[in-house]
Amino acid sequence: MQTISVEALKEKIDSGEKINLVDVREPHEHADFNIGGILLPLGQVQLLQIDAIEDLKDEALYIYCRSGNRSGQACLMLETMGFTNLTNVSGGMLAWQDRIVK
């Protein structure tokens, strides 16, 4: 699993690079603030309910949560399911709101 800072991720998004974002927070967290990722709560990943991203197995996925902890867990689980190009967004949406949204 790789990691990326919120600043580096923002640069990729701003440059127009095709980014596959996956939000592993709960629906209410996603509704409060999100950066456009596919909502796939960690509980669904734990239950192997990953249909929303199954077709992205060989593509780069940027996984984020509130602080980077749940997304790290999700990356480890997804690796065991055959996902090969996973990046954890360090600091999650707390860092994004602190450093990007001013």
Contact 55, 77 (CB under 8 A): no
Categorize the per-residue pLDDT at 3 as very low, low, confident or very high, splitting at 50, 70 and 90. Answer: very high
Tokens 């480890």 sit on residue: 76
The size of the chain, in residues, is 102
Establish whether 65 is a catalytic residue: yes
What mean pLDDT comes out for the span 4-15? 97
**CATH number for 13:** 3.40.250.10
d(CA 14, CA 35): 12
Contact 70, 23 (CB under 8 A): no
Domain hosting residue 64, numbered range: 2-99
As given in the structure block, the two tokens for residue 64 are 């984020």
Contact 11, 96 (CB under 8 A): no
- Taking Cα atoms as reference points, which of 78, 71, 61 lies closest to residue 20? 61
| pLDDT computed for residue 27 by the predictor | 98
pLDDT value at 59 more than 90: yes
Active-site entry in 45, 53, 65, 75: 65
- Work out how many domains the chain is built from and give that number: 1
If you average pLDDT over every residue of the chain, what do you get? 96
Contact 85, 59 (CB under 8 A): yes
The pTM assigned to this predicted structure is 0.96
